Amino acid sequence: MDKSVRRCGSVAAVLLATAIAVGPAAAQGGAGRDSPSKESPATATDAPRDVPSLELSQSQREAIYQSVSNRQAKKDTAPVGFRAAIGAHVPDSIKLEPLPKAVVELVPKTVDYEYAFVDNQVLLVEPRSRTVVEVIH
């Protein structure tokens, strides 16, 4: 009986040591699946999840890019720290312009949006919140 008590004590000690060692790692891993982790790379600069999707076809994207890029005499560069991505907030230093009438006629769902041409990319932006809804390059 003395041996079985020792064996149970040894097993209990191993289980306790394992629980202590694995517990914090398991807790960190579990939290990362359900909520964003500070260590994981940010997607779309902490983009809000309610950004409307314009669902543009490839031909619509090409037409918008051609129309806007042909009108731009000055190509803006992105301010330091700004990354053009859906959901990103466009800083006030980037000037928003109304979309050309031809674009709005071709793609009517763009009527409520403005654009900026930054780093050879067309950013379609919701002007009230200054949120990027589409990046075309």
Q: Amino acid identity, residue 100?
A: P
Answer whether 122's CB lies under 8 Å from 41's CB: no
Check whether 30 has a pLDDT greater than 70.
no
Q: Minimum mean pLDDT among 6-15, 20-29, 118-127: which range?
A: 20-29
Q: Amino acid identity, residue 113?
A: Y
The phi, psi pair for 133, rounded to 5°, reads -110, -15
Q: pLDDT tens digits for 44-90?
A: 444 455 777 888 999 999 999 999 888 765 666 788 888 899 999 99
Q: pLDDT tens digits for 11-27?
A: 444 443 444 444 444 44
Answer whether 122's CB lies under 8 Å from 97's CB: no
The DSSP element (H or E) to which 135 belongs, if any, is strand 131-136
Check whether 111 has a pLDDT greater than 50.
yes
